[in-house]
Structure 1
Amino acid sequence: MTFGPGSHQSPMGAPQQYPSTASHANSAPTSLTPPAYGAPVGYGTLPAYAAPAPQSAVPQLPVPTVKGRHTAVWLWVILGFLLLLVAAYMLLGIGSTGAVVGMILALVPLAIVVTAALLIDRWEPEPRSLVLFALGWGGIAAVAISLIVGIAVAFALPPTAEADALMTVIEAPIVEELAKGLGLLILVVMGKRAFDGPVDGIVYAMLIAAGFAFTENIQYFGQALADGVDSLTLTFFLRGIMSPFAHAMFTAVTGFCVGLAVRQGNRGNVVGMFLLGWVGAACLHALWNGSAVFGDLLALYFAIQVPLFILFIVGIILLLREESKLTRMRLSDYAAAGWFTPQEVNMLATRPGRRAALAWASSLGSGRGREMKQFIVDATELAAVRQRAISGRDPQAGADEWVLLNRTVADRQALLAR
């Protein structure tokens, strides 16, 4: 099915019903006013909703409260203070030239990993405040914690090759993965109304890891610069090109475990799953570091790291498919109550449906592509809100649900108004 520039076929319903405003009255639901209804098992009884106001009186309402979706100001203050400490350490260690060159080169792997994380996050985007905090925690706080512990351990151990190997293979993986993982626990608390499951956990973990690797790479590249251009080139190739996702894969194990506990709605399991993920992440990290210290790095890279990366990609694809199924399931609950048509659920909860809808809306011009995108975003968030309500972990889900239902009504009306 195609949606050409002049076509009146819409992925939201039958061709004769969309997008004509006049014929919208013939499509279901007519006034988008569901009857009083009870939800599927496990959710409880939903209230009856009054008919939404006419289009001109239905505002694009914000979610009623920002609590649980943003980072507290005092955390940014702490990050700012730690940034001064990390920056001072870097300047003393590699100098201003090394820091500038290292930062420029470190932007390459940072951009690769952040782009990948945001692509994974496209299905149900996370709040910008939490995304920035994840990057900041990884690049500043996790680095500061790792530096402090590393310096303390270095002073406690004798200056020998064996001690250096011990720190690289055991101390660094344990401490660094714990420091990065603490950021995930903070995000669970601060972003409890946005952190919805394994995919979100992996996205936040990748962002934290990207920030950590960015700062770590500045130091590595700056130190390599002092040894000459050849050393810098080799270090950049190994860290920036061959293994930009190394830290992301390690910490993603913790993110997956934490996200799984969050999805299940059992807060008591979060710490236990965090510890399980931390152990898994530290083991992968130790395997990677050990291959560089004790083995043939290139041979182990292709024998172990490449297969792990392939499994990492396959796992994310499967999780995204599961996310799509969950969105369809939750929106089908509302379709059964009359808020959406079955065609709309198919459009909003599948990638082919979304692509077709956006192509159709964009072909009509007048900003309808943007309006369709907003319709998709609000409906996806609505599905996530319902899932949080079902799990019982969000007492404010009912208020958000009502707001988002009104927003989806307004989104649809805006699409059909012109």
Structure 2
Amino acid sequence: MTSHDPRSAPAPLPQQANPSWMGQVPEQHYRPAPANYREQPRAALTAALPPARAGRGSAGVMGLMAAGGALGFIGLFTVLPFVLVNTGLAGFAIGFVASLLPLGAVLLAVRVIDRWEPEPKGLLLFAFMWGAVVSVAVTLLIQPYFSLAAGPASGLDYRTFAVTVQAPVVEEFAKSLGLLLLLLFARRHFDGPVDGVVFAFTIAGGFAFTENILYFGRAIAESSDPGTDLVVVFFLRGVMSPFAHAIFTGTTGLIMGFAARRWHTGLSVAAFAVGLVPAILLHSGWNSMGQDFLAQYILVQVPIFLLAVLVIVLLRVAERRLTRQRLREYASAGWFTGPEVEMLSTGAGRRGALRWATSIGRGPQMTAFLHAATQLAFTRQRILSGRDVPAHQLEEQHRLAEVAALREAVLRR
């Protein structure tokens, strides 16, 4: 893994800077990657710079996590009594265990989607806690007021209003508030549609987890044939629709993720409002299915699920293309070789590199190198967005030093 002379490498043309629809860069914001001069000692550069995680962004993340923990703790005093009253202790225990299965499916999907550029575990924990506790508490607090304000004007009977209007509007608003907080206070980690989908799926998975405990527990507590009713409810919610909430809220996260590319607070808030619309419509459509449930499920909901899978696949392909292009720009500046870029920007290349490093006892160092290079590519994307450029250029220097140090750690004898 050696770098060629950056002074002999041509800079990429601006039109090459847009490898896919995900990473479009305005021509006026494009700038070459900083050169890697051989005479600049990497060890000294690494020692001279502060840690890559230092700065205003980490303070915002820590504050967000602290606030989320406090809100989650307070929310438990609203959510837990409500669930226990409706399920009883036995129903709660059985519902809790049964709810782990659909939750596992959602979290597995999150892991697959998030594999290329993993989000910090602390932020994923915040997202899950927001969904499982805070958004449920917000829903319980807002629902009565929303019903009084909008119920009479809708002209619907209470049950129809509650199922097709109140639940979709209030629940999607409560879940997506967590997305808005992540976008405003952890923007360095929420900089694209893939991140939006990951955080949205995690929040929705948490919300569905608590909701499933309630539904499964009620099947135990309120039924004369609890075993049969639990199987029916579990099949409907845990087998046929474990991703329902994830897809609803995922549309909001997707739209907010595209807005995150612009790094503009006003646009972020506007994307929050716009993103609620498809989430509410999808949620309402799901809740509106009645006697012809099976036909609507096959003809409408299954295609929606398949479309969601297709969107996620396209997002991952675009993310890899973006990584390859940004790393090629660093290669032109002397930070990587061509083979390194191919290794870092393909799944097969990464797996092969990790197998080789593990065979010589350097697996953790290679894992860190792969992650740091990906983070570097996305840092460059933020630079090319044209907003907060000096702060991101400082982060870029930290990332470059980190990549250089990790390369040496992988190759040292």
Rounded to whole Å, the distance in 1 between the matches of 2:165 and 2:67 is 33
Q: How far has the Cα of 1:353 moved from its partner?
A: 1.6
Kindly indicate whether the alpha-carbon contact (under 8 Å) linking 2:68 and 2:129 is maintained by their aligned counterparts in 1: no
Question: Residue 57 and residue 297 in structure 1: after superposition, are their counterparts in 2 closer, same or farther (change >3 A)?
Answer: same
Matched with 2:213 is: 218
Q: How far has the Cα of 1:361 moved from its partner?
A: 2.2
Question: Residue 371 and residue 172 in structure 1: after superposition, are their counterparts in 2 closer, same or farther (change >3 A)?
Answer: same
Matched with 2:68 is: 75
Q: 1:384 aligns with which of 349, 354, 378?
A: 378
66-75 vs 90-99, which moves further: 66-75
Instruction: Give me the CA root mean square deviation.
Output: 2.7
Matched with 1:124 is: 117
Matched with 2:265 is: 267
Kindly indicate whether the alpha-carbon contact (under 8 Å) linking 1:35 and 1:48 is maintained by their aligned counterparts in 2: no
SS at match of 2:360: coil
Matched with 1:84 is: 77
Q: How far has the Cα of 1:218 moved from its partner?
A: 0.8
Matched with 1:135 is: 128
AA aligned to 1:137 is W
Matched with 2:3 is: 28
349-358 vs 101-110, which moves further: 349-358
Q: How far has the Cα of 1:62 moved from its partner?
A: 4.0
Question: Residue 173 and residue 404 in structure 1: after superposition, are their counterparts in 2 closer, same or farther (change >3 A)?
Answer: same
> 1:96-175 counterparts in 2 under 5 A?
96-152=89-145, 162-175=157-170
Q: How far has the Cα of 1:374 moved from its partner?
A: 1.1
Matched with 2:24 is: none
AA aligned to 2:371 is V
Matched with 1:257 is: 255
SS at match of 1:124: coil
Question: Residue 48 and residue 56 in structure 1: after superposition, are their counterparts in 2 closer, same or farther (change >3 A)?
Answer: closer
AA aligned to 1:29 is H
Matched with 2:186 is: 191
Matched with 1:323 is: 319
AA aligned to 2:270 is G
Rounded to whole Å, the distance in 2 between the matches of 1:44 and 1:54 is 26
AA aligned to 2:352 is A
AA aligned to 1:194 is H
Q: 1:399 aligns with which of 378, 387, 394?
A: 394
312-321 vs 387-396, which moves further: 387-396
227-236 vs 389-398, which moves further: 389-398
Question: Residue 262 and residue 35 in structure 1: after superposition, are their counterparts in 2 closer, same or farther (change >3 A)?
Answer: farther
Q: Is 2:344 aligned against 1:348?
A: yes
SS at match of 2:317: helix
Q: 2:41 aligns with which of 44, 47, 51?
A: 51
Rounded to whole Å, the distance in 2 between the matches of 1:132 and 1:92 is 27
Rounded to whole Å, the distance in 2 between the matches of 1:77 and 1:148 is 17
Matched with 2:20 is: none
Q: Is 2:368 aligned against 1:371?
A: no
Kindly indicate whether the alpha-carbon contact (under 8 Å) linking 1:200 and 1:259 is maintained by their aligned counterparts in 2: yes
Kindly indicate whether the alpha-carbon contact (under 8 Å) linking 1:135 and 1:210 is maintained by their aligned counterparts in 2: yes
SS at match of 2:197: helix
> 1:179-328 counterparts in 2 under 5 A?
179-226=174-221, 227=223, 228-291=226-289, 294-328=290-324
SS at match of 1:264: coil
Question: Residue 59 and residue 373 in structure 1: after superposition, are their counterparts in 2 closer, same or farther (change >3 A)?
Answer: farther
55-64 vs 181-190, which moves further: 55-64
Rounded to whole Å, the distance in 1 between the matches of 2:87 and 2:194 is 37
Rounded to whole Å, the distance in 2 between the matches of 1:59 and 1:265 is 26
Q: How far has the Cα of 1:73 moved from its partner?
A: 1.6
Question: Residue 57 and residue 29 in structure 1: after superposition, are their counterparts in 2 closer, same or farther (change >3 A)?
Answer: farther
Question: Residue 329 and residue 67 in structure 1: after superposition, are their counterparts in 2 closer, same or farther (change >3 A)?
Answer: farther
Q: Is 2:310 aligned against 1:339?
A: no
Q: How far has the Cα of 1:76 moved from its partner?
A: 1.7
Rounded to whole Å, the distance in 1 between the matches of 2:131 and 2:178 is 7
Kindly indicate whether the alpha-carbon contact (under 8 Å) linking 1:371 and 1:411 is maintained by their aligned counterparts in 2: yes
Q: How far has the Cα of 1:199 moved from its partner?
A: 0.3
Kindly indicate whether the alpha-carbon contact (under 8 Å) linking 1:38 and 1:44 is maintained by their aligned counterparts in 2: no
Rounded to whole Å, the distance in 1 between the matches of 2:357 and 2:44 is 22
Q: How far has the Cα of 1:162 moved from its partner?
A: 2.9
Q: How far has the Cα of 1:36 moved from its partner?
A: 12
Q: How far has the Cα of 1:106 moved from its partner?
A: 0.8
276-285 vs 349-358, which moves further: 349-358
SS at match of 1:396: helix
Q: How far has the Cα of 1:245 moved from its partner?
A: 0.2
AA aligned to 2:206 is G
Per-residue CA deviation, residues 93-112 of structure 1 (Å, 9 max, x unaligned), is 22222111111111111111
Kindly indicate whether the alpha-carbon contact (under 8 Å) linking 1:52 and 1:406 is maintained by their aligned counterparts in 2: yes
More helix by share: 2
Matched with 1:95 is: 88
Report % sequence identity: 43
| TM-score when normalising by structure 1 | 0.85
Kindly indicate whether the alpha-carbon contact (under 8 Å) linking 2:200 and 2:253 is maintained by their aligned counterparts in 1: yes
Gaps of 5+ in 1: 1-11, 13-26
97-106 vs 148-157, which moves further: 148-157
Q: How far has the Cα of 1:29 moved from its partner?
A: 3.4
Rounded to whole Å, the distance in 1 between the matches of 2:287 and 2:253 is 21
Kindly indicate whether the alpha-carbon contact (under 8 Å) linking 1:37 and 1:46 is maintained by their aligned counterparts in 2: no
